[in-house]
Structure formats: structure tokens, C-alpha cells
Structure 1
Amino acid sequence: MANVVIQSQQTSRFALHSRVFQIFMTGSLVTRVGDWMDLVALNWAVLQLTNSPLMLGVVNACRLLPTFLLSVPAGLLADRYDRRKLLIYIQLAMMFLTFFLGYLVDSGPALFWVFILIVTLRSMLAAMDSPIRNALLPNLVPPNAMSSAIAINTLVINLSRIIGPAIAGMLLAVTDIANLFYINAWGTLGVLVSLLMIRSHAVPKFNKKNREKTTFREASDYVKSQPSVQSLLMLAIVPMVFGFPYTTMMPLFARDLLNLGPEGFGLLLSISSIGALVGATWLSIGKEIKGAGKWLICSIMGFGLSLLLFIAAQNFLQAGIAMFLVGLTSQTYRTMSRITLQVHVPDQLRGRVLSIALMDRGFIPLGAIFLGAIATWAGTTWAGVVMGVGCIAITSIVLTIRRQIWNL
């Protein structure tokens, strides 16, 4: 019987046939739901405490800018040490800091700058979590199921994006914001339990000799020798600056353009997640996707167009349709980009190369500050227009400079 199970895992391209992967995804789903509740609470708390679009961008910059500083060191750690144990330590520390954030929110605006400091510290840990987590995924499934594992991980993230904001929106109407932070802190137990259940033999061993040989220059030389990888990294900057800050700007869009409160704001984010879920589900079945470059370009263009449709929406129905398309196009791009990259990167370099790729998230707060400033000085509508037009126009320029992207 055991031999049959092993053979099934070796031949199946569907990642959920791996028991270890099932356990990890189940725990991750619980924790991710809490994370998205936390994000809704964070943005809404900042808007209530400061009533400043610019401050909303600043806080999210503190949340995401650590990616620039700690993504690469995290990649080095992922290639040197036990990835499972690293994630356990990081999640424990994040759990403690999240409890502290709830306490600070309860304390009121007098401790707002301490609140920003704790957000930054927790974000430093989150910046380290992502490269290590993404490097661990291929170790939990057979090699031919790696693409499916990446897509299913994305599917879990977007399923939590549907559940989390919707629950957060309802809870914000009946309870204090601080309670959402407490709920997220307890939700961290989900991924912690799953990591503890994964046996040590399910992940690769790291010996001292490998640790001494692991350097960032090795990954840098690899990227320099791979034009396709360079093109993927360059293209990723565009949607991060102009497109993905929409989650940060959504409280402002919901309030100023559609006259919605926290419930409507949370519902719009959930609708975008449904679109993302559709895209991720399609990619998760494990079939080989040809013409990745064409899919990447068209999905970013569609992302920009969907944002423009949202800004032009006159009612909630139109806004909801536009947000579904925003989620579908943005996540199709994001998942395809990660799959294309991971397929070409050897495991001994995976953590470091992914840490370089995941630094693109650091451009989101820069975009949020830029767009928040536009909203402050020119109005919310103009900020949305810049987002959509920027995705389309800058992608066209990048494609002109790096034509090989189309043929990836």
C-alpha cells in the first residue's frame, strides 16, 4: 500500500496528492484569513485615526518597505538552514507583535507612532517569511507537481482574501478594531501547528559545508546569465508600482467614489479575490501553459484596463464587476510570473533568487505613497486614473525595450 502512495505522488502533477502539502496548506489558510482581516483593520484604523490618504500610504510603506532590506538575507537563510524551523521562529515572533498591535489600537491615537514602529518590526519578519515559505513549497511535493503547488498556494492566499476582508468588514461594524488584531494573532496557530506536524524528513537537509558555500553572489551571477529571468524581474516592477497598491487605496476609493463604509470596502476586496481565485484555480490543475510571456503582458494590460473600469463605475454593481476583473488579471499575472521563475531556478539557488524576485513587493509602498500624494493634491479619481494608465503605458515601454519578454 505504501508503495502505491509513493508512486502516485511521483506521477501526479496535482500537488494536493501530497499529504505533507495538504497539511501545510490547511494551516496556511487559517493563518492567511487572519492576515487579511488584519490588513483591513490596519488600513481602516489608520484612516480613522488620521483621516489622511498620505498617512495611509506611509503606514503601508512601513509595512512593505522592509522587503527591500530583508528579502535577500531571508533568501540566504532559506538556502542555508532548515526552512521549516525558520518559519516556526518567524511566525512565533509575528504572533507576539500582533497581540501588541491590538493593545496599541486599544490605547488610542496617543501611541500612533509606536503603532507604526510595531507595524514596521512585524513587517520585517513578514519580509523574511515570504522567500522562505516560497522556497519551502517545492520541497513538499514531487518535482512535476511544483507548478500546481505554486498555483494552489496562490489559490489559498486568494481564498483567504475572500473570507478575511468579508469577515473583517462585518466585525468592524459590531466590534472594536483591536479585536481583529487579536483574532489574527490567535490565527497564527494554524500555520504553526501545520509546520510542527510536518516531519523533518519531508524537507531537505542542510549541512555546514553547504552553508559555507552559500553566497548571494552565486545567485547574482545566475540572474546575470539568464536574460529570461532578468526580463521577469524588470516586468514585475510595473504592476507593483501602479496596480497592486489598489488594496491600500481601496478604503479611499470606497469612501470617496462610492460612498461606502467598511462593509462595502471589505466586500469589494472580497470580490477582487473571487476573480483572483478563478485565475489561480485554472492554473492549479497542473497543465502546462505555453506562451507565458504573452500571458504576462496581456494580464498586466488587462489589470490596468480593469482599474480604469473601476474608477469609472457609477454604482456598486459596476464597481463589483470591475473588481472581479482586477482580481482575475492581477493574479493571473502574479501566479504565472512565479511559476515561470520557479520552474527555471535550481533548488540550491531557490531561496536567493526568489528573494530577489520577491523584492518587487517593496515597490508597492512606493506606489502607495505616490498615489496617496496624487489623491491628496489632485483628488481620488486622478489617483485611480494614474494607476490604470500607468500599468498600460509603462508595460508597453518595457515591452519595447525587452522584446524577448513576449517570447518567454
Structure 2
Amino acid sequence: METSAWAPLQDKVFRGLWIGVLASNAGTWMQTVGASWRLVHEPDAATYVSLVQTATMLPVLLLALPSGTLADTFDRRRLLLGVQLGLFAVAAALTALTAADRMPPALLLVFTFLLGVGQALTLPTWQAVIPEVVPRDELAAASALGAVNTNLARSAGPAVAGLIVAHAGVPVVFGLNAVSFAVFAAALIRWRRPPQGGTTHAERFGPALRAGGRYVRYSPVVRRTLLRVLLFVLPGSVVWGLLPLVADRELGMGPSGYGVLLAALGVGAILGALLMPRIRERVPPNRLLILSGTVYAAALLIVALVPYAMAVVPALVVAGLAWMAQVSRMNASMQLFLPNWVRARGFAVYQVVFAGGQAFGAFAWGQVTQAWGLRAAYLAAAAFMVLGTATVRWLPLREQTGDRSPAAYWPEPHLMLEPHLDEGPVLVTATWRVKPENRAAFVAAMQAVRRSRQRTGATRWGLFRNGEHAGDFVEVYLVPTWEEHLRQHEGRLTTSDEREEEHAVALAEGPATVTHLLPAHSPVPPPHRHPRTD
């Protein structure tokens, strides 16, 4: 049974943080408008204005994965709070210097880049925080509210900034952006994050970064979700990238008309949030992807072929609804699948794919427009949207309904002498004895175990038959360091991993006999053998 679209907002913690994020997002869009307007009358204005977008988006592409790693290795509340306070200081300095007329274009771009760095640190951390404050059955609704948040900010921020620039000036816009960070910081101060369970020592940055990349590499669910995001965002970005040209060239609506078109997209997103609970009850996830992709393509065709505002505005409302349906579905899939220990890193990769797809798509459609015209760009994007949507049949979104809560079900390894945490690589072998009638099923079951080992730390894995004893299977996997293997024991495994391993154990004659092999130069005595499912 689906929960209400607004159910997460009944929780005062989530409500406060959501409002804080809304203020921060709106302030960021206001900052972009203010910075662009500040540069409009400079020599080489076209170059400077385009660099505002570059300075805003480039940090997300460069720093999303490192920032996700920080969010998984440090207290997320404190990290978010520190970033918002830092952004407040940067925005306040920008406001003061602009008001004093001491803001040359190059320095403005530097400040814009610094604000972009703060946003790159905020995005994956906020996504990782949501499951901490929202029950699992409300995650889909929370994801939809996240899309509403983004679209409200994208619609209202530029419109408000335009009015303020016209009546009060650019410094006031920059000042309100600083206030928006203070609002988010205040919400974080009020939130008392419960103590988080985990390992006894913090994960180091370098190994944590590699572990995040390895998790995505060996997670078919995550990889498929990222592929579906890319197939939708690449053609879908034509709307966001070329909408100013539609307002100006096709509809003759001017800057105020551009605000109306953005508002139409935002209204569609809000309607989508209201309708999504009922839609999810009646439409399976992959059918929803097909339906929303087809609707979005139809909206692109209307924008391309009907140069009348009375047709384009409703089409953009529908496009906003379809965009929200796709994005919230992908976001919810990630929220439900990623375990807590790697959630921010997983969302960082998601953010890179999403932002990179938008940036590359907007650039590509701009080049198509330059060569063949605006209508051709929208028609081509609609065709690619249809093709991408058709691939759902062969590349469906993989749903994961298993329990992703931590499960430390491996017993502590007992060695003759404890190796140093940096000792490695560690070769772990597990010998399983299997009856003839279960061998085929056992081999099949071990493929799920393989993925579990690789997601949580193993760089190599293999399953071998013992030539001298036909009933013995030897599982072998390599872990970079002893610390990485201990983290497998201490919290990287989930209840789903435990159930998959229990299935393999049920097909064998009891738990495996495990050996830990360390490098020959290690001072550790010969490895100790003990039975367990490692």
C-alpha cells in the first residue's frame, strides 16, 4: 500500500531539512541569475555568462565521488553543517564585495566555483541522509518530494531573482543566497542525529574511494539504474538546455515568458508528486518508465511542431510530470538498494551520471541547433527518447526488495597473531563439501555470493573443484588489505547477503572451512583454520 505523497513532511525533522534544502536550492538558482546578469554588460559577455554555468556544474562532475566518500566516512550531519556555514561565509563575502563594486568578472567566477564546490559536497550527503530520517516505506514519496524540491527551486529561484535584480540589484540576490545557506544550517542544528553503529575506526579516504567504485562496479542493480538514468537524461536535457531559445525565438515571449515556461515544468513536477502514489499502485516500475518516456517524447514533439504558447505551456507541464516520474523512480531505486555504509558514494556516482548526462546532452543539442535549427534538435531528441524508452524491454530497471540493513553474521577470525591493518593482500579460501545431487544448484547459488564478496571488498574471486575430492568446492577471493577484510566482518554485509549465503550453506554439507593466507613476508605464523561461513 502506497503512503501519501506528502507523508514524509509530517516528520518534523524531514520537514525542517526539506525546507532548508529548498531554500538552499532556490538560493543557488538565484545566485546563477544574479551572476549572469552581473556579467551581461561586460566585454566578452557571452563567454563570461556561459562560464557561470561551467563554474556551477564543473565541481559536481569533479568532486561528487570524493564528497560522497567524505559523507560515508564522517558524520553526515556535521559535514552538511560545516559545508553550509562555509557557503554562508563565501556568499556573504561575495555580497559585500559586489555591493562595494569590487567584483571583477574573474573573481565572480572564482566565487561561483567555490559555491559550486559546496553544492557538490551537499548533494550526495543529503541524499544519504534521507533514509536516516524517513521510514523505508516512505522512501519513494521522499524521492518524489526531492524532485519537487529541485523543480520548485528551479522554477521560483530565477523568477524571484529576476524581480529582485530589476528592483533592488544584484547584491541583494547574493545576500539572499547567503541567507538560504543559513536557513539550511539552522535546520541541521535542530536535528539531533542518533548515534550510528559501525566500525571502531574511521575508513580512510583512499581505500573508501576505491571501495565505493568497486561497489558500483559489482552491483548490477546500481549499474542498470545508472544506464536507465543516462538513456533518459541525454535526450531529456534538450528542454533545460534550449528552453530560453524556445521562449525567445519560437514563442517570442521574452525573459518573462522564459519564467512562465520554467514554472510550467515546476507545476508538472508538483502534479507528478501528487499523482505518483496512485500511479505506483497501478503501474509496475518498468511500465512506468515506458509510459513517462513516451509522454516526454510526445511533449518534445509538441514543442518542436506547435509554435504557440497555449500548446507549449501545457506540454511542458506534462513534460515536468514525466521528468519527475522518471527521476523519482530512479532515485527511489537507489535509495532502496544502497546500504548505509556506501550510500553517499553510490549517490555521488548517480550525481555524476545525472549531471554529466545533462551537461553533455545540453551541449550536444546546442550543437545540433547551431547546425540544423531548434526544431531539428527537439525532433532528434524526441526520436532518441523513443529509442531509449524502447530499450526498457531488454534493459529493464532491476528492482531489489531484499533487506539492506547491516548484518555482521561472520564470526570474528581467530589467527595466531593479528596482522597489521595495512597487511595485504589477503587471500581467503573457503572449502565447501557438496553432495552430488546439489552441485549444480550450489554453483548457481555461489554466483550471488560472488557478487556479495566483490561488492564488499574482494578484488578477485573464483570457485574451483578439488581434483582429489570430487565433492569439495574451494572458493577463493582476494582482499586488498586485512582492514578491508575486517570491514566485511564489521558492517558491510547486509541481511540480503546473509540470506544468499545461507542458501549456499543449505546446499552444502554445513559451513565452509576458511583459511586466511597472508603475504610470505608477513611476520604472522601459518594461518589458522576454523569452520564458519566467511
Identify the TM-score tier after normalising by the shorter chain: 0.7 to 0.9
* Aligned match of 1:114: 107
Unaligned runs of 5+ in 2: 400-534
For 1:37, the aligned partner's letter is: M
Structure 2 counterpart of 1:73, from 50, 61, 66:
66
Relative to structure 1, the CA distance from residue 200 to residue 127 in structure 2 (aligned partners, 3 Å threshold; closer, same or farther) is: same
Matched, 1:405 2:396: yes
Residues 375 and 383 in structure 1, CA contact (< 8 A), matched pair in contact too? yes
Aligned-partner Cα distance in 2 for 1:34–1:284: 29
The answer to whether 1:320 aligns with 2:313 is: yes
Secondary structure at 2:307 match in 1: coil
Of 335, 341, 346, which residue of structure 2 is paired with 1:348? 341
Match of 1:157, as an amino acid? T
CA change 1:285–1:406 in 2 (3 A) is closer
Cα distance per residue 1:19-49 (max 9 Å; x no partner)? 2112212322333332333344455666665
Structure 1 residue 137: Cα displacement: 0.9
Q: CA deviation at 1:284?
A: 6.2
Name 1:170's counterpart in structure 2.
163
In structure 1, distance between residues paired with 2:99 and 2:378: 33
Greater strand share, structure number: 2
Matched residue, 1:372: 366
Residues 345-402 of structure 1: CA deviation (Å, up to 9, x unaligned): 1111211111111112123222222233333444333333343333333444x547xx
Distance across 2 between alignment mates of 1:165 and 1:111: 22
Using the TM superposition, give the Cα deviation of residue 74 of structure 1 relative to its aligned residue in structure 2, in angstroms.
Answer: 1.2
Report the Cα distance in structure 2 between the residues aligned to 1:312 and 1:23, rounded to whole angstroms.
43
Matches of 2:308 and 2:279, distance apart in 1: 38
Q: Which of 14, 17, 24 pairs up with 1:31?
A: 24
Deviations 1:147-205 (A, max 9, x none): 2322223323333344333323433443434432322222222111101111132x636
Aligned residue type for 2:107: V
Distance (Å, rounded) in 2 between the aligned partners of 1:200 and 1:338 = 23
- Structure 1: how far apart are the matches of 2:243 and 2:95? 22
**Using a 3 Å threshold, how does the CA distance of structure 1 residues 110 and 251 change in structure 2: closer, same or farther?**
farther
Deviation at 1:272, TM superposition (A): 0.7
- Native 8 Å contact 2:140 2:329 kept in 1: no
Change in CA separation of 1:285 and 1:292 when aligned onto 2, cut-off 3 Å: closer
Which segment is superposed worse, 221-230 or 206-215? 206-215
**1:206-221 alignment runs, 5 A limit:** 209-212=201-204, 215-221=208-214
CA gap 1:261/1:352 in 2 versus in 1, 3 angstroms:
same
Q: Determine the structure 2 residue equivalent to 1:229.
A: 222
Counterpart-to-counterpart distance in 1, 2:311 and 2:387: 24
TM-score under structure 1 length normalisation: 0.83
On the 8 A contact 1:169/1:267 being kept in 2, the answer is no
Residue aligning to 1:387: 381
Q: Could you tell me which residue of structure 2 aligns to residue 191 of structure 1?
A: 184
Pairwise CA distance, 1:104: 7.4
Q: In structure 1, what is the Cα distance between the partners aligned to 2:77 and 2:95?
A: 27
Asked which structure has the greater CA Rg, the reply is: 2
8 A contact 1:299–1:330 mirrored in 2? yes
Alignment match of 1:133 (pick from 126, 132, 140):
126
Q: Which residue of 1 aligns with 2:485?
A: none
What's the counterpart of residue 253 of structure 2?
260
In structure 2, the CA distance between the partners of 1:385 and 1:28, relative to structure 1 (3 Å rule), is same
- Distance in 2 of aligned mates of 1:337 and 1:189: 30
5+ residue gaps in structure 1?
1-11
In the TM superposition, residue 269 of structure 1 has moved relative to its aligned partner by 0.5
- How far apart, CA to CA, are the structure 1 residues paired with 2:256 and 2:12? 37
Superposition pairs for residues 79-98 of structure 1, below 5 Å? 79-98=72-91
Hey, what's the Cα distance between the residues in 2 that align with 1:68 and 1:369? Answer: 15
Instruction: Identify which range, 257-266 or 344-353, moves more after superposition.
Output: 257-266
- Supply the AA of the counterpart residue of 1:64: M
Q: Secondary structure at the match of 1:179?
A: helix
| 1:211-244 Cα distance to aligned partner (Å, 9 max, x none) | 2496234333433443232111112113333323
How many angstroms does 1:56 deviate by? 5.5
Structure 2 distance, partners of 1:262, 1:30, is 23
Residue in 2 that maps onto 1:204: 196
Q: Whole-Å Cα distance in 2 between the matches of residues 254 and 48 of structure 1?
A: 22
Q: CA deviation at 1:72?
A: 0.9
- 2-side partners of 1:315 and 1:173: how far apart? 28
**TM-score (normalised: structure 2):** 0.65
Query: Is residue 81–residue 206 contact of structure 1 (8 Å, CA) maintained in 2?
Result: no
Q: Percent identity?
A: 24
CA contact (8 A) 1:78 1:131 kept: yes
**Structure 1 residues 103 and 243, CA, compared in 2 at 3 Å: closer, same or farther?**
farther
Cα offset, 1:207, TM superposition:
5.8
Residues 292 and 340 in structure 1, CA contact (< 8 A), matched pair in contact too: no
> For residues 236 and 35 of structure 1, what CA distance do their matches in structure 2 show?
24
1:266 positional shift: 1.3
Q: Give the total of aligned pairs.
A: 392
CA distance in structure 1 between the aligned counterparts of 2:113 and 2:24, rounded to whole angstroms? 19
